[in-house]
Structure 1
Amino acid sequence: MFAEKPTLKGELVTLCPVGLEHVEDLLEVISDPEVRRLTGSHGEFDEERLRLWYATRAAQTDRLDLAITADGGFVGEVVLNELDTANLSCNLRIVLGPAAVGRGYGTEAIELVLGHAFRTTPLHRIRLGVFDFNGRARHVYEKVGFIEEGVERDALLWEGKWHDAVLMAILRPEWQARAGSLA
């Protein structure tokens, strides 16, 4: 379903297939303490493992990994993964570096990837999870049409405190209604 790895251009960002040229920038983003907290990433990241991972993304037909670039540089990545072809659904995840936060890059990246997914694939549902303390991300997800569906209680133990994960999704008809009203 994701054999094609497109380049998607918006007003603020360009999404392009991830590649080895993005590894060092990604490592810098995911090593940031605040990014680690917001994504619930406990482990350490190894550059060589990231190189091996990014080297294989182009061949994966069950996921779409796109680098988010703005002003000529890498600012994050947006991914459609966990594809369930029987139920026409997948997961979305996004990570932005600290310098990219609050500039509209994440909103536009999500809108671009949703547009691509719902226009070029038979997907019906795209879901995500966001930790309860990440109000900024949750606001963006709601702004682009994601609806809260439930909560995974105590899904993350961070620095001795439990946090819930809020589960959200957008359905093709919801996206179509929004896309139609924006045209």
Structure 2
Amino acid sequence: MTLNLRLRTLEKDDLSFLHHLFNNPDVMNYWFSEAYMSMEKLKENYDKNHDNPRNREFILTNGNESLGFIGLFEIEQRHRNAEFAIIIDPNHQGNGYASKATKLAVNYAFSVLNLHKLYLVVDKVNEKASHIYEKVGFKAEGEMIEHFFINGEYHDGVMMSLFQRDYWDYWKMLKQ
């Protein structure tokens, strides 16, 4: 299978794909959110926020196939930071897409938006995701102890971040 992964802007036609993702408890637990989103609410949120300059929302594609959703949220122009979030459709997990998609989004954030810092919060038990973020260069900043309630128990979150300078240094080192 030839990979032609790219990020494209979220469009209204993608809302059924998002509805599928946002109503999957296995997906939304890792977003520390309830899997409860009506199509009407998605449409309302899209109409209200699709031109919000503080967010960038993308669909990860391979050709015409939708593989996941990537977001840069709460973009702060003054402080030049944003929160990074990603969902890979469970039907496409385990193929290395998350790592490649994260690299695409990070490159966009630092090359196009000229952000200084990206940050995220990952469930401490989600070792696969933590490994992907570390591979791209994210580092743990701290823990949020028993901060999230998932499936009847409290989970710790790990705040991770990546600075633009470290990202460029990291990729220069890899090219040597």
Question: Under a length normalisation based on structure 1, what TM-score does the superposition of the two structures give?
Answer: 0.88
Structure 2 CA distance, aligned partners of 1:31 and 1:13? 24
Structure 2 counterparts to residues 159-170 of structure 1, below 5 A = 159-170=151-162
Unaligned 5+ runs, structure 1: 1-10
Moved >3 Å (runs of 4+):
55-58
- The answer on whether the counterparts of 2:84 and 2:118 sit within 8 Å (CA) in structure 1 is yes
Structure 2 CA distance, aligned partners of 1:109 and 1:155? 27
In the alignment, what sits opposite 2:69?
Answer: 77
Structure 2 counterparts to residues 141-160 of structure 1, below 5 A = 141-160=133-152
Structure 2 counterparts to residues 116-155 of structure 1, below 5 A = 116-155=108-147
* Paired amino acid for 1:99: N
CA deviation after TM superposition for structure 1 residue 85, in Å: 2.2
CA deviation after TM superposition for structure 1 residue 59, in Å: 1.5
Structure 2 counterparts to residues 47-126 of structure 1, below 5 A = 47-126=39-118
CA deviation after TM superposition for structure 1 residue 52, in Å: 2.4
CA deviation after TM superposition for structure 1 residue 71, in Å: 4.9
The share of aligned pairs that are identical, in percent, is 24
- The answer on whether the counterparts of 2:25 and 2:35 sit within 8 Å (CA) in structure 1 is no
- The answer on whether the counterparts of 1:17 and 1:58 sit within 8 Å (CA) in structure 2 is no
Question: Under a length normalisation based on structure 2, what TM-score does the superposition of the two structures give?
Answer: 0.91
CA deviation after TM superposition for structure 1 residue 27, in Å: 0.9
Aligned residues: 174
Unaligned 5+ runs, structure 2: none
